[in-house]
Structure 1
Amino acid sequence: MMIQAVLGNPHHPEYGVATIPFPIPHDQCAHCMELLEALEIGDAVKADCQVQEINSFYSVLKRMEMLTVNVEELNYLAKRLDSFDTGEAAQFQAMAHKLELFELKDLINLTFCCQQATVITDFSDLPAVGRDHYMNLHGGSAKTEELDALDGEETARMLIESGSGTITPYGVVYDNGMKLEQVYDGRFFPCYYYEPNAITVAVTSKAEPEDTEHITWLFLPMVQEEIGRALQRAGIADPADVRLRLEDTQLPDEVDVLLDMEQENLADLNVLAQAADALSSDDMKKLGAVVTLAKPQNAEQAKNLVENLDLFDFAPGAHSPAEYGKYMIQRSGHFDYDENLDEFYDYEGYALQRMNEEDGLFTGRGYIAYKGYTSLAEIMDGSQSSHMEMGGMA
């Protein structure tokens, strides 16, 4: 929890208040929205929540108390601040104080540029101050040889003697010519990866041109309340008005290429993301091979395959019968392999015998075989009647 805010209805204080954690955890979203709805506040677009009290490491946010804010903007700001290290936190707070920023739009935009400023909180280590200042002037990075050649102490002294610093409760801040750019326009949040996610989708309205900058970013999987509020904020009421673009995924390439975003819908993409979100890296590789074998046509069929990965045997890296047999005998765990007898194993012969008895395929990722009783088509269509055959690999 980065921020805890006590919110009330500015027009009906008698309704009481709700205490909401920010960023709002996914599993608490519905509950938090219910608390706000009971107070007749919490609109996805309007600023209708009066901040009665705010508690946070970012004490500069206390200036928001008694202001009326939008809950989605406050949630986005909390996500941005949650990623900051100690130095960025000092830069944000000092610049917010220097610029006397109160509005959430301005505070959000500050998170994208405050890193340009230099804040001195400790004057006892001037070489470190000088290095930090040099880094801030160069986009936060510099070559090792540049830093080695830098006279950090002299750089710091020149900065201090410039007299351009402003004393704040968070240190002496030098803005270095920073401009508060309008990265956030007040409606559409910039793309920001707060946490790992399976599928990232850019959502726009079909009423807008295809190259519109009015993009709503969805980081799937999301709970339905989050998706609904995001679309409401985008002004999209009719699902038929949604245009989808696949921006990024953690899924195998074999899944990415099958997704036709002109035919897919958010619901199917979200359940695919939910199913894939818990997969390990090894399971992701297996999924790529499974998709090559099964050839699903859409997100729903891919999701059904994700949920039935245990019906497939996978020998990663096996691209020939000999490699498949070697994997089975040496690494599958089904045999007590003795390396001293390696020359006596007929890896290829064993593999060919297995392959004659199973529905398998060599893929770019290795050998994959389906071990269920029902057809692959039934599995992809959502049949739950298939079972593992005895003797399948773990």
Structure 2
Amino acid sequence: MIKLTVRWRQRSAEIEFPCSDTKLHQLLNEIRPADTTSNEIFVMAVHQPTALSMLEDQFLNMDEVNFLAKRMDSFTYDELLQFYAAAQYEHLQSPKGLINLTYNLPCYTVVHDLKNMATIGKSHYMNVNGPLTASELKQIDFAAIGRELIRSGNGRTTEFGLLFKNHEVPYEEVYDGINFPEYYHSESLMTIRVEHAGKAEYLYLPCEDLTITKAMYRVGAANMEDLTVFLESFEVDSKDWIKRLKQILANGNIYDINDVLSAINTADMNLDKLSAVMEYADTDSPEAIIALAEHIDDFVFVPDVHDPIAVSGSTIASIKEYALHPHLEDFFDHQRFGEHLIKQYDGKFVSGGYVCMDEGAYLDEILADIQDQGMGGM
């Protein structure tokens, strides 16, 4: 976490990062004119971590600070010490430099405990060479590597430990100071890449609309139509839904697909049921998908049921009030009872099974607020 105080003229605010784009926007606009579009503001103090005090007394881009905090969130304790020591050694003063450092920690080995040479050697070896194989773990004398490193005399003292710069590891500038690199900070349903004029940004949907707008501006696009959009990944294993979402994106824009993903991003959402309900409602517009998803409990979906007799049997089996005595089973007219249920609850057979309205629910009411031009046939 990064916690700092920012100031605009005589007003100040305390902000904790990482935070949502909307919260950041609200906090900044409480102390400065609401129509200010730049996220650069003067940093009075860094309260946490004190190791980043070099960011004080300068104007900083708060989106960069937010991204830096997200990167630091993933660090272990040892990686944080490595990061702080390297930042101090390199005299880094900007979020850009610190963000790039988060991608280049293997360029540095930091020793903060001289008691175990094997641990030192193993850490240094992994920084320089990457992950270890099972055979390397058995064959390499990590204690010898550790002793050789300490005896080299190349260590530089920092308040976070003895730092060794690994010159054999190339330092890469991953962040160019404008467009943030791909980074998964939290769970998402879909990752998309947006491009314009050779610049690219990544979006992890569903997200806040403001996050989409910021990414659009960072690549230099004036509007959604200027963007080239690529679907990088979709966490739901469904070709039908991938096709559906691509179609929504083709007919609309990122905001449309984001709204749909927000609606289906619930712990208990059954996408097979939602697909069946969409077919039942004969619509697949973004507005309709959202409305149906929000009222998914107003529908009954019985998979793999395709005739009135099966409707009757599934209803009797699932609703105790309809339970039949075993001696009556042979005399009961399942065909007529199934037809009655279908008519009473506006039931329809769809490709995935049977869908009907729940008691007291009506499809017309659910779709009442959707404009006719927003409706599309299956």
Relative to structure 1, the CA distance from residue 113 to residue 284 in structure 2 (aligned partners, 3 Å threshold; closer, same or farther) is farther
AA aligned opposite 2:220 = G
Partner of residue 257 from structure 1, selected from 243, 257, 262: 243
CA distance in 1, matches of 2:215, 2:173: 20
Which residue of the partner structure matches residue 349 of structure 2?
A: 360
- TM-score norm. by structure 1 comes to 0.75
Relative to structure 1, the CA distance from residue 327 to residue 124 in structure 2 (aligned partners, 3 Å threshold; closer, same or farther) is farther
CA distance in 2, matches of 1:181, 1:160: 26
Deviation at 1:320, TM superposition (A): 8.7
1:382 matches 2:370 = yes
Deviation at 1:127, TM superposition (A): 2.3
1:49 matches 2:41 = yes
User: 2:70 aligns to what SS in structure 1?
Assistant: helix
User: 1:287 aligns to what SS in structure 2?
Assistant: helix
Q: What is the percentage of aligned positions where both structures have the same residue? A: 27
Higher Cα Rg, which structure:
2
CA contact (8 A) 2:357 2:363 kept: no
CA distance in 2, matches of 1:170, 1:244: 43
Relative to structure 1, the CA distance from residue 380 to residue 119 in structure 2 (aligned partners, 3 Å threshold; closer, same or farther) is farther
Deviation at 1:315, TM superposition (A): 4.9
CA offsets, 1:270-319, max 9 Å, x none? 22122122x12653454355456667544333323322221333456x58
User: 2:202 aligns to what SS in structure 1?
Assistant: strand
CA offsets, 1:356-383, max 9 Å, x none? 83323454xxx45242675699849839
Relative to structure 1, the CA distance from residue 187 to residue 313 in structure 2 (aligned partners, 3 Å threshold; closer, same or farther) is same
1:95 matches 2:86 = yes
Partner of residue 137 from structure 2, selected from 140, 147, 160: 147
Mark the runs of 5 or more structure 1 residues left unpaired by the alignment.
384-394
AA aligned opposite 1:56 = Q
- TM-score norm. by structure 2 comes to 0.78
Partner of residue 240 from structure 1, selected from 195, 202, 225: 225
CA distance in 2, matches of 1:111, 1:351: 67
Which residue of the partner structure matches residue 154 of structure 2?
A: 164
Partner of residue 263 from structure 2, selected from 256, 262, 275: 275
Deviation at 1:7, TM superposition (A): 1.5
- Aligned counterparts, 1:285-300, within 5 A: 285-290=272-277, 296-300=283-287
Deviation at 1:221, TM superposition (A): 3.0
Partner of residue 163 from structure 2, selected from 170, 173, 177: 173
RMSD: 3.8
AA aligned opposite 1:170 = F
Relative to structure 1, the CA distance from residue 307 to residue 23 in structure 2 (aligned partners, 3 Å threshold; closer, same or farther) is same
Relative to structure 1, the CA distance from residue 225 to residue 204 in structure 2 (aligned partners, 3 Å threshold; closer, same or farther) is same
Relative to structure 1, the CA distance from residue 281 to residue 114 in structure 2 (aligned partners, 3 Å threshold; closer, same or farther) is farther
CA offsets, 1:3-37, max 9 Å, x none? 1111124xxxx433222221123552342131353
Which residue of the partner structure matches residue 371 of structure 1?
A: 357
Which residue of the partner structure matches residue 60 of structure 1?
A: 51
Deviation at 1:246, TM superposition (A): 2.5
CA distance in 1, matches of 2:275, 2:117: 53
CA distance in 2, matches of 1:42, 1:52: 20
User: 1:37 aligns to what SS in structure 2?
Assistant: coil
CA distance in 2, matches of 1:352, 1:62: 78
CA contact (8 A) 1:251 1:276 kept: no
AA aligned opposite 1:247 = E
Deviation at 1:166, TM superposition (A): 2.0
AA aligned opposite 1:200 = T
1:35 matches 2:34 = no
Number of equivalenced pairs = 355
1:19 matches 2:19 = no
1:8 matches 2:7 = yes
Relative to structure 1, the CA distance from residue 371 to residue 119 in structure 2 (aligned partners, 3 Å threshold; closer, same or farther) is same
CA offsets, 1:232-275, max 9 Å, x none? 33322234323333233344522221122332223322221221
User: 2:175 aligns to what SS in structure 1?
Assistant: coil
CA contact (8 A) 2:120 2:143 kept: yes
CA distance in 1, matches of 2:277, 2:158: 59
CA distance in 1, matches of 2:81, 2:313: 57
Which residue of the partner structure matches residue 290 of structure 2?
A: 303
CA offsets, 1:36-67, max 9 Å, x none? 534997714xxx4222101223x331111112
AA aligned opposite 1:179 = P
- Aligned counterparts, 1:192-203, within 5 A: 192-203=183-194
CA contact (8 A) 2:110 2:164 kept: yes
